[in-house]
Chains A and B, each alone.
Chain A
Amino acid sequence: MTNQDENKEGIGGMINPRRYGIERVAYLLMRLSGLGLLAYFIGHIYETSTILKGQIGWNEFLALTQTNAGHAILAIVIAMCVFHTVNGIRVMLGHGGVGVGKPARPDYPYIPASQNIRHKMGIYSAIILAAIAMMYGLAVMFGE
């Protein structure tokens, strides 16, 4: 059965953050930051492997991170790292059933207990901390 036959939303629907509130935005950011950190990890391994070419090769590659573009990429990496860590802790706790509320008879208008203020605060905290860390990184790298 093809994707069209199954009427699946596909990746476009999966990454659409507009319809289901901040939780779906966090879901998207978690995936993007995870992929970004994976790309950084691969790049980092490649970068450190240049030491095999000797000190000149190492210094040449390291100089790339000292450019404006290099600083901007590192600042984004800092933000991704902080968001992924803080939101990851929230998600891990949720996955264990911590902070997702207790089962109870639902009353109209049926506000889901699992989408509670603690989790929303966790998501906003992750975003704010990531922004602060990124700004601090930018200040350190571009400050001189």
Chain B
Amino acid sequence: MAQTPSLAEESGSTPFSSSQSITLRIARYNPQHDSAKSFMEFQVPYEKWTTVLEAILEVKKHFDHSVAVRYSCRQATCGSCGMIINGKPRLACFTKISELNSNVITVEPMNNFPIIRDLAVKFERLFDTHHKIKPYLIRDDTEITTNTKEFLQSPEELEQYIQFSNCIKCGLCNSACPTMATDSSFVGPQALAQAYRYVADSRDKGKDNRLKIIDDSHGIWRCHFAGSCSQVCPKGVDPAMGIQLLRGYMLGFRS
């Protein structure tokens, strides 16, 4: 009779038995008592399918449990494990070591976000700017009220915004943005793309309200269409497209 391993046996097992290994350089920084960032190096075995997050968890399990990292779903859905991997913002759970083509993997906290510790950063500003653009349908009536039906929408109308509703608020776009690198007050590509998501929704009636919010010196006009946000988005949201289409509304090219 086959025996299934107990939970204790599973958690104690070593997941990688490969002869291949990489050097994982992890940025260590505690703003409470460190004056600058430093790096610790670990030799981590990996398989073809091993992700960077799994390698970090391997380090936590076998070498140094004090490494601070935020993660949850491990399938690019929760948006928790964004970090700079070999110089570019990526999701650690969505980046395989084998696709980086390097024997040295350097992981750092995302740029343009205050560091809590090591690889974990604060998301307060991202959530604040997200809330600022009113990320919900604005209209006087509601689907919940008795005697009203659900708001109807054609497939074509859905196509106008469905891409932008894939945003998981991981913050990679804000980390890659060159304007965010210098302007602390810029609303950022994440919030601007979400503003477009609701403006383009045929059920929404809050277009003028939202356009007024982003029509600011640190709002949509600070985007210079560098496109880095779209290149790093792990969900295909393409914030650069949303922002330019949104600006089309403001310039009168779209209605």
The answer to whether B114 and A114 have CB atoms under 8 Å apart is: no
A96 part of interface (Cβ distance < 8 Å): yes
B58 part of interface (Cβ distance < 8 Å): no
Task: Please tell me which stretch of A16-24, A53-61, A65-73 contacts chain B, meaning at least 4 of its Cβ atoms lie within 8 angstroms of it.
Answer: A16-24
* Candidates A5, A6, A9, A114; contact of B230 at CB < 8 Å: A114
Q: Which of A101-115 contact B (CB under 8 A)?
A: 101, 103-108, 110, 112-115
Question: How distant is the Cα of A107 from the Cα of B237 in the complex, in angstroms?
Answer: 10
B102 to A: closest C-beta gap in Å: 14
* Candidates A5, A14, A21, A106; contact of B237 at CB < 8 Å: A106
B95 part of interface (Cβ distance < 8 Å): no
Counted as pairs of residues, one from A and one from B, with CB atoms less than 8 Å apart, the total is 140
Task: Please tell me which stretch of B49-57, B127-135, B175-183 contacts chain A, meaning at least 4 of its Cβ atoms lie within 8 angstroms of it.
Answer: B175-183
A135 to B: closest C-beta gap in Å: 28
Question: How distant is the Cα of A7 from the Cα of B88 in the complex, in angstroms?
Answer: 15
The answer to whether B176 and A20 have CB atoms under 8 Å apart is: yes
The answer to whether B226 and A7 have CB atoms under 8 Å apart is: no
* Candidates B115, B160, B240; contact of A115 at CB < 8 Å: B240
A43 part of interface (Cβ distance < 8 Å): no
Which residues of chain A have C-beta atoms less than 8 A from B114's C-beta? 1, 5-7
A19 to B: closest C-beta gap in Å: 6
Answer whether A112 and B248 are a contact pair too, CB < 8 Å, given A7-B113, A27-B178: no
The answer to whether B241 and A8 have CB atoms under 8 Å apart is: no
B80 part of interface (Cβ distance < 8 Å): no
Instruction: Report the interface size for chain B: residues with CB under 8 A from the other chain.
Output: 50
Answer whether A91 and B224 are a contact pair too, CB < 8 Å, given A97-B245, A103-B241: yes
Which residues of chain B have C-beta atoms less than 8 A from A100's C-beta? 240-241, 244-245
Answer whether A103 and B228 are a contact pair too, CB < 8 Å, given A113-B238, A114-B238: no
The answer to whether B112 and A115 have CB atoms under 8 Å apart is: no
The answer to whether B224 and A27 have CB atoms under 8 Å apart is: yes
The answer to whether B228 and A8 have CB atoms under 8 Å apart is: no
Q: Which residue of A lies closest to B110 (CB)?
A: A7
A143 part of interface (Cβ distance < 8 Å): no
Which residues of chain A have C-beta atoms less than 8 A from B240's C-beta? 100, 112, 114-115
Which residues of chain B have C-beta atoms less than 8 A from A110's C-beta? 233-236
Which residues of chain B have C-beta atoms less than 8 A from A98's C-beta? 248, 253
Q: Residue among B162, B226, B236 with the most chain A CB within 10 A?
A: B226
Question: How distant is the Cα of A97 from the Cα of B241 in the complex, in angstroms?
Answer: 8
* Residues 148-181 of chain B, each 1 if its beta carbon lies under 8 Å from chain A, else 0: 0000000000011111101000000000101111
The answer to whether B111 and A9 have CB atoms under 8 Å apart is: yes
The answer to whether A112 and B227 have CB atoms under 8 Å apart is: yes
* Candidates B109, B159, B226, B233; contact of A104 at CB < 8 Å: B159
Question: How distant is the Cα of A3 from the Cα of B114 in the complex, in angstroms?
Answer: 9
The answer to whether A112 and B236 have CB atoms under 8 Å apart is: yes
Which residues of chain A have C-beta atoms less than 8 A from B226's C-beta? 20, 23-24, 27
Question: How distant is the Cα of A27 from the Cα of B225 in the complex, in angstroms?
Answer: 8
B254 part of interface (Cβ distance < 8 Å): yes
A100 to B: closest C-beta gap in Å: 5
B144 to A: closest C-beta gap in Å: 28
By a beta-carbon cutoff of 8 Å, the part of chain A in contact with chain B is: 1, 5-11, 13-15, 18-21, 23-24, 27, 30, 91, 94-98, 100-101, 103-108, 110, 112-115, 119
16 new A-B contacts at CB < 8 Å, known A7-B121, A23-B226, A97-B247: A6-B113, A7-B110, A7-B112, A7-B115, A8-B184, A9-B181, A20-B231, A20-B232, A27-B178, A27-B225, A94-B225, A103-B160, A105-B162, A105-B163, A112-B233, A115-B240
